[in-house]
């Protein structure tokens, strides 16, 4: 089995955020989780709580202007969320083609990861 290569966490740690920023981050994570089947979402959110919310980081890269490329990464001990909007669409907008994913650092598709 091949281990998923993960870059070290970067960005602003949840423990350094204001209470309002932490609430927004929790809500964003919940939005991603609730795209999953209910039982999987519950397991993943429980794993986040057990691992501790303070260690989660949020990292933004790119523009803060609509239509310009940007991406972000939310990383905790048990998961990695990646959002990327840097690809043009068929109408010629410079960045209007979004990809996002949730990686379970415990194993995607319920397959355990090899640890080294």
Sequence spans of domains, the chain: 14-110
Give the model's pLDDT for residue 2: 43
Phi, psi values for residue 97, rounded to 5°: -140, 100
Give the model's pLDDT for residue 57: 97
Give the model's pLDDT for residue 26: 97
Nearest-angstrom CA–CA distance, 62 and 108: 27
C-alpha closest to that of 49 among 76, 9, 19? 76
Instruction: Flag residues of the chain having pLDDT under 50.
Output: 1-3
Percent of the chain residues past pLDDT 90, beyond the cut: 59
C-alpha closest to that of 88 among 79, 80, 98, 103? 98
Give the model's pLDDT for residue 110: 60
Nearest-angstrom CA–CA distance, 50 and 95: 36
CB within 8 A of 102, min separation 6: which ones?
A: 32, 33, 35, 36, 44, 79, 80, 81
């Amino acid at each position: 089995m091949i281990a998923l290569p993960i870059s070290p966490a970067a960005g602003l740690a949840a423990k350094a955020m204001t209470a309002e920023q932490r609430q927004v981050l929790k809500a964003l994570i919940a939005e991603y989780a609730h795209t999953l089947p209910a039982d999987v979402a519950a397991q993943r959110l429980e794993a986040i709580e057990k691992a501790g919310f303070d260690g989660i980081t949020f990292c933004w890269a790119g523009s803060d202007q609509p239509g310009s490329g940007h991406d972000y990464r939310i990383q905790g001990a048990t998961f990695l969320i990646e959002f990327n909007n840097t690809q043009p669409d068929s109408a010629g907008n410079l960045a209007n083609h979004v990809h996002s994913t949730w990686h379970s650092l415990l194993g995607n598709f319920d397959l355990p990861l090899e640890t080294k």
